[in-house]
Structure formats: structure tokens, C-alpha cells
């Protein structure tokens, strides 16, 4: 297993500087977006921008705002409530230390040696977090979330930690996020989660096949499949994907905190091969992402690995990083095309990786090649949807529903689609940046 704080001795940034206007402006835009992705300032979007789903029973198809239909589902296992996790006196110091390490971006798998992983991080301490957490426990009883532990996650220390970290330990702001989440769940999905539509499954933008060595779901973002112009569908799909991750966490929970992923976070892997600035950039989706990540799904993302990034982008990132907050540099790791296999083998078990990323597992197909539900969204998310019974009508069949041998591993067509070619454009980094 890769240890926390591991480094790999390759140089992702050792390229000659570019001297073109495009080569400078586009990467600077990337850096600006990465700063925004941290979502350290809470933004409150107007209620008119949210996609509202009519209330309905779990697993029932309900109408949306006139443009979409979706299902809602319980994020907790159907046979029993989700465990309520609260650090006892013996665990409290450990849990507060984990919260500080998470905020300081020192809990994770670090690929390239960087001074940013060693330099002091300005901000709060584990003791500060402990004081804020105790205040949150006192002022917000468990019943603040009426459906907590039944239709969605419980109001416990994991939920408190996410809001406290997102609000920089401002207890009042964190408490507001807690109350807004209860309203969001009730108004949007009758207390449960938002399930996908067939249209979203067929997009192929997000693929979640497995967990990394720390037990964090691997959320593979493929901007080349994103088509701008439908923010309502994107909002529904984003919520549905993150709710599937929550359902996965609830299914995996025992009676104690996870040792390697106690805050129940995911790791994001952006693959920019084959993407284009002009075809994939979507500012509406970017604003949707900011709102959802700041208000409804705070602090779920742990680290961001950005693959197949061109030399000009890496060079300007290196130059600009000298002026960035250390948290930005630690959170986002840019990887050159030649270094993708060695990088990904340090993050994900080799038998779970596709050959194009240096693995021995089957290829991860695009939407045109998908033959099963797992091909469309990845095995981890597909399992969450199937357990909850919210796979939409007309979706691809699951592998488990097919006779053995009826589905062969999809052939790799990515080379003809431009995989492996360096990206010289910013592309759609805005479209899924939690």
C-alpha cells in the first residue's frame, strides 16, 4: 500500500517555458479555477437556480422542473439505519488531528516531491477544531436532520467536520450549512438522494470504478465527453453522482471511523486527453459546481490529480504556484502524459487500472463503447444505484444481470480519439470541480 505522504521521483514540470500568448493565458485561467475549487468562501446561490424535484417515495419516479425526470432514493442501507459516528474521549484528539491534516492537505497520497508538502500551513490547529466541534455538538442536536441516518447520512462528527472545515471553523456559518442541508434534502428529494436519469448515464462524463489505496472512491472526470448547454441535467448528474458516493460510504460504514478515510472523502482524477476548450468549456456548469460544492456537498473532495496536461500548462503552473496558497499546491497535482502510468500505479491498485494508465484491468470505455451499467458509470457507482433500486428505465443492463461470458471487455478505442496527445488548452476544468 502506498503510504500517506509518499513521493515519487519524477519531474512533472521539467519543461522549457513557452512564449506564446495562448500558452500563458490559458494556464493562468487554470490556476485561477483551481483556487476557486477549494471553495474556502461559501457562496449562496439564489433558490431560483436550483433544480427542484417534486417529493416522492423512495424509488418512485417523480417529475422535475418540466425538463427532467428523476428518482429519489435512500442513501442509507435499506435493512438498517446508518451508524452514528461520534469521537469519544479517547478518539477525540485523533479525530481533531485528522481534521487539521485534511485541512492542511497532509492526509493523502502525494506523488511528486514538493516543498509545499513540508512548509507550515497558516490557519487553525487541532485544538481550535476541537473547540468548534464541541460547540457544534451542543447547539445542533441530531434531530436537526429529521431524515439523518434513515434517508441520508446522520448528523454526526463526520458531517460536522465537513462543514467546519468548509467554513474555516466559523460555527455560525457551519450551523447554517447544517440547516440548509436539511432543507435541501427535504425540498429536493423528500429527504433522500437524487438518482440519475438515463440521459445522464449516457453522457459518460463521470466514471467511478473503484477506491484508491486509502479507501477513497476514484472519481474519473472525462471532459472530452461533456457537452455544454444543459445546466439542469448537469446539476442533476452532479448531485446523483455525489449521492451515490454517500450511499457507498453509508454501505461501507461500521461502528467506528475508517482509519484511512475517516472524513469519507473521494479523490478526483481529471483526464484531459482529447478535450477541447471550445467544445467542452461550460461556465454554467462551473457555477452550478461552485454552489453545490460550497452549500450542499462541502469538503467531499480530498485530492485532485490532473492527467495528460501539456508542457505549457505545467510550466506556467510551476511559475504561478510560487504565489499560491500552499493548500492549492498540495491539493492539485499536475501530471505529464509520460508520467501517468507511474503516477496512477501509486494511487490505485494495478488490477483496477486500465492498460492506458499502466494497469492490468480492463479498459474504461467511453459512452459509445459502453455495454453495461458498469461501463457507463463505473462499478462503484453502479453498485450504489442497483442496491437502492434507482437505475432508470432503459439503462444498460448490469453485468450481474447478464449470463457469464455474454459481455466481452470493450476494446480500447481511445487512441483514435486522441488519448495520449498532450493537451494545450484549458478545456472543461470548470465543469466538475468539487
| Res 82: pLDDT | 86
pLDDT at 25 over 50: no
Query: Radius of gyration of the chain from Cα atoms?
Result: 21
pLDDT in tens, 232-245: 999 999 999 999 99
**In angstroms, how far is CA 117 from the centroid of its own chain?**
22
- Compute the distance between CA of residue 32 and CA of residue 294 in angstroms, rounded to an integer: 17
- Compute the distance between CA of residue 72 and CA of residue 142 in angstroms, rounded to an integer: 23
pLDDT at 203 over 50: yes
pLDDT at 416 over 60: no
Q: In percent, how much of the chain has pLDDT > 70?
A: 71
The band of 405, judged by pLDDT with boundaries at 50, 70 and 90, is: low
The band of 8, judged by pLDDT with boundaries at 50, 70 and 90, is: very low
- Compute the distance between CA of residue 340 and CA of residue 201 in angstroms, rounded to an integer: 26
pLDDT in tens, 319-352: 777 776 677 777 888 888 999 999 999 999 999 9
| Res 16: pLDDT | 33
- The residue whose grid cell reads 493548500 is 327
The band of 281, judged by pLDDT with boundaries at 50, 70 and 90, is: low
- Compute the distance between CA of residue 367 and CA of residue 202 in angstroms, rounded to an integer: 6
pLDDT in tens, 29-66: 444 344 334 334 443 433 333 333 333 334 543 333 43
| Res 367: pLDDT | 95
More confident position, 188 or 81: 188
| Res 119: pLDDT | 63
pLDDT at 4 over 80: no
The pTM (predicted TM-score) of the whole model is 0.78
Average the pLDDT over each of 166-180, 195-209, 278-292 and give the range with the smallest value.
Answer: 278-292
**DSSP-derived secondary structure letter, 292:** I
CB 342 within 8 A of CB 358: yes
What average pLDDT does the structure give for the chain? Answer: 78
Single out the residue of 56, 80, 78 nearest to residue 69, CA to CA: 56
- pLDDT, mean of residues 102-118: 72
CB atoms within 10 A of CB 133: 23
pLDDT at 421 over 50: no
- pLDDT, mean of residues 177-193: 93
Amino acid at each position: 500500500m502506498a503510504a500517506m505522504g509518499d513521493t515519487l521521483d519524477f519531474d512533472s514540470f521539467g519543461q522549457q517555458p513557452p512564449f506564446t500568448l495562448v500558452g500563458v493565458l490559458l494556464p493562468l485561467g487554470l490556476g485561477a479555477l483551481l483556487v476557486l475549487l477549494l471553495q474556502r468562501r461559501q457562496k449562496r446561490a439564489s433558490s431560483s437556480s436550483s433544480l427542484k424535484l417534486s417529493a416522492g417515495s423512495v424509488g418512485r419516479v417523480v417529475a422535475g422542473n418540466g425538463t427532467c425526470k428523476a428518482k429519489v432514493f435512500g442513501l442509507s442501507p435499506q435493512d438498517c439505519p446508518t451508524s452514528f459516528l461520534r469521537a469519544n474521549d479517547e478518539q477525540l484528539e485523533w479525530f481533531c488531528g485528522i481534521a487539521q491534516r485534511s485541512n492542511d492537505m497532509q492526509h493523502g497520497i502525494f506523488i511528486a516531491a514538493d516543498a509545499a508538502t513540508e512548509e507550515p500551513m497558516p490557519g487553525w490547529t487541532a485544538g481550535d477544531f476541537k473547540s468548534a466541534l464541541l460547540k457544534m455538538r451542543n447547539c445542533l442536536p441530531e434531530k436537526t436532520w429529521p431524515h439523518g441516518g434513515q434517508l441520508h447520512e446522520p448528523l454526526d462528527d463526520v458531517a460536522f467536520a465537513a462543514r467546519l472545515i468548509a467554513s474555516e471553523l466559523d460555527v455560525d456559518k457551519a450551523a447554517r450549512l447544517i440547516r440548509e442541508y436539511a432543507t435541501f434534502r427535504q425540498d429536493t428529494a423528500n429527504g433522500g438522494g437524487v438518482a440519475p436519469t438515463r440521459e445522464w448515464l449516457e453522457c459518460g462524463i463521470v466514471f467511478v470504478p473503484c477506491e484508491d489505496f486509502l479507501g477513497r472512491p476514484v472519481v474519473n472526470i472525462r471532459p472530452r465527453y461533456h457537452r455544454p448547454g444543459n445546466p439542469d441535467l448537469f446539476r442533476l448528474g452532479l448531485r446523483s453522482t455525489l449521492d451515490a458516493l454517500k450511499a457507498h460510504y453509508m454501505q461501507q460504514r461500521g461502528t467506528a471511523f475508517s482509519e484511512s478515510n475517516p472524513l469519507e472523502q473521494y479523490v478526483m482524477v481529471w483526464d484531459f486527453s482529447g478535450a477541447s476548450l471550445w467544445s467542452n468549456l461550460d461556465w454554467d456548469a462551473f457555477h452550478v459546481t461552485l454552489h453545490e460544492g460550497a452549500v450542499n456537498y462541502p469538503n467531499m473532495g480530498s485530492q485532485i490529480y490532473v492527467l495528460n496536461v501539456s508542457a505549457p500548462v505545467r510550466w506556467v503552473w510551476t511559475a504561478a504556484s510560487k504565489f499560491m496558497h500552499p493548500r492549492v499546491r498540495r491539493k492539485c497535482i499536475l501530471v505529464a502524459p509520460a508520467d501517468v502510468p507511474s503516477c496512477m500505479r501509486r494511487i490505485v491498485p494495478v488490477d483496477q487500472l486500465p492498460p492506458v494508465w499502466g494497469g492490468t484491468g480492463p479498459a474504461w470505455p467511453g459512452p459509445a463503447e459502453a455495454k453495461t451499467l458498469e461501463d457507463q458509470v463505473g462499478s462503484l457507482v453502479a453498485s450504489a444505484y442497483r442496491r437502492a433500486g434507482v437505475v432508470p428505465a432503459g439503462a444498460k443492463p448490469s453485468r450481474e444481470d447478464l449470463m457469464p461470458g455474454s459481455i466481452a471487455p470493450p476494446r480500447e478505442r481511445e487512441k483514435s480519439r486522441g488519448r495520449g496527445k498532450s493537451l494545450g488548452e484549458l478545456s472543461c476544468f470548470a465543469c466538475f470541480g468539487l
